[in-house]
Amino acid sequence: MNASLAEYHVPVHLDVPEIDVLWTGVPDPHAPAGARGAGEIGITGVGAAIAPITLDKLL
Per-residue confidence (pLDDT) for residue 3, from 0 to 100:
78
Quote the CA–CA distance of 11 and 46 in Å, as a whole number: 10
7 is a catalytic site residue = no
Give residue-wise pLDDT tens across range 1-59.
Answer: 667 777 777 777 787 778 777 778 889 899 888 888 766 666 666 777 777 777 777 77
> Side chain identity at 52, as an amino acid letter?
P
- The residue extents of the domains of the chain are 5-58
Does the pTM surpass 0.85? The reply is no
Quote the CA–CA distance of 19 and 37 in Å, as a whole number: 14
Catalytic residue, chosen from 26, 40, 53, 56, is: 40
48 exposure class (CB count in 10 Å sphere: 0-12, 13-18, 19+)? middle
DSSP letters for 24-38: -----TTSGGG----
